[in-house]
Amino acid sequence: MERDKTELFQIAEKFQVEGVKKSVVPHGSGHINDTFLLTCHEGEEEKHYILQRMNHEVFKDPKGLMENVVGVTTFLQKKIRENGGDSQREALNVIPTRLGEFYYVHEDGTYWRMYLFVEDSVSYDAVERKEDFYESAVAFGHFQKLLEEYPAASLHETIPNFHNTIDRLAKFKAAVEKDICGRAEGVQDEIRFVMDRADDCHILCDMLASGEVPLRVTHNDTKLNNIMIDNQTGKGICVIDLDTVMPGSALYDYGDSIRFGANTGAEDEKDLTKISCDLELFALYTKGFTEGCEGSLTEKEIKMLPMGAKLMTLECGMRFLTDYLEGDVYFKIHRPEHNLDRCRTQFAMVKDMEDKWEKMQSIVEQYL
């Protein structure tokens, strides 16, 4: 629902903001939460805040979500200060309500929160410069390093089974079996593509369960636009959008970044000849991520980085295909067979990774 300036100011007043509120405008390009930039004046100085309505239809446990965010950001701020950094710019800072809570429930039942705005920084929606992709890799790796001692198992699963590829495979099989839209017959090649790789879907889940790779704090939405890049230095300084912070594997975060950032084509590209895994970008991100992790990754995790990239891409394609079979009920579509096009690009990316597997492994081995 649309909200006017007066109502947004009233909501903002529930939080511990400093100064006189001057303006509140829509901010960013997110599709899930409603985000606004609040500007306040304190004497001659301007202070900015992010005011955000949490989408409790997507995140059904806002209280648990904010417990995750507060726990992780408090831990990050402490680590950053210990390292001599600026905890107000290098980590998100949650602004409490005037009652000391970390979120506010409005009279209409909506959930709101506020962050201190990260000044003199910018985020990018797409990889325009290789340097920015590298900086995002360093920043997400550093995020892993700072949180390596955080008790990951204590985090709430804000989206249960988000990267549980065994569960994703089971849901896919059920969608094929039910075939409620009668679409399965037309996508037999795509169904076969998944089933030929069904064993792969168990690899990371089994390794986590056995302790072969450690349970870590994972961001789970490692797109470039979730990194704030300093306007002066061009360095990635702060990881934002912590709604999907959950327990998982570092391979999830690394793999999804490769899926998104090293693909030579768009996520819904129809011409599959344009889809490939750019090995230069793959190598650049691997370099940045391992540098950011500063030795915190285990040897097994480093060896499994290509598998993380492949599995996150396969999982995403499987999710698009599942949604197509179920009638396009989860992902928004803008044309018929949009989800099928998305699925095919992911599978083309997986196939290209498989064709380049030895080269990917060779790139990764230099970081062992």
| pLDDT at site 119 | 94
Tens of pLDDT, residues 242-260: 999 999 999 999 999 999 9
**C-beta separation of 257 from 285 below 8 A:** yes
Residues 143 and 292 in one domain: yes
Helix (H) or strand (E) holding 232: none
What is the model's pLDDT at position 31? 67
> What is residue 27's three-state secondary structure?
coil
Q: Which of 64, 96, 117 is the last residue of a domain?
A: 117
CATH code where residue 158 lies: 3.90.1200.10
Last-in-domain residue among 83, 117, 151: 117
In a domain? residue 123: no
Q: Examine residue 124 and state whether it is found in any structural domain, yes or no.
A: no
Asked if residue 122 is part of any domain, the answer here is no
What one-character DSSP code corresponds to residue 212?
S
The answer on 255 and 137 residing in a single domain is yes
Residues 320 and 356 in one domain: yes
Please give the tally of structural domains in the chain: 2
Q: What is the pLDDT of residues 73-123, one digit of tens each?
A: 999 999 999 999 999 999 999 999 999 999 999 999 999 999 999 999 999
79 and 199 part of one domain: no
Count of beta carbons in the 10 Å neighbourhood of residue 11: 21
223 and 176 in a single domain? The answer is yes
Among 234, 279, 247, 273, CA closest to 261:
279
| Predicted confidence (pLDDT) per residue in 68-86, tens digit | 999 999 999 999 999 999 9
Residues of the chain below pLDDT 70: 1, 31
Q: What is the pLDDT of residue 126?
A: 79
Write the CA distances from 343 to 248, 267, 322, integer angstroms: 24, 9, 9
For the entire predicted model, the pTM comes to 0.93
Same structural domain, 328 and 200? yes
Q: Is residue 205 part of a domain?
A: yes
Q: How far apart are the first and last CA of the chain?
A: 51
- Which CATH number characterizes residue 97's domain? 3.30.200.20
Range of the domain at 134: 130-365
- Assess whether 176 and 280 both reside in one domain: yes
Q: Are residues 191 and 107 part of one domain?
A: no
**100 & 201 share domain:** no
Helices (H) then strands (E): counts for the chain: 12, 10
- pLDDT recorded at residue 246: 96
Residues 147 and 50 in one domain: no
d(CA 100, CA 16) in angstroms, rounded, equals 9
Q: Would you say 76 and 86 are in contact if contact means Cβ atoms under 8 Å apart?
A: no
- Asked if 109 and 140 sit in the same domain, the reply is no
**Is 125 a domain residue?**
no
Of 117, 152, 184, which marks where a domain is finished? 117
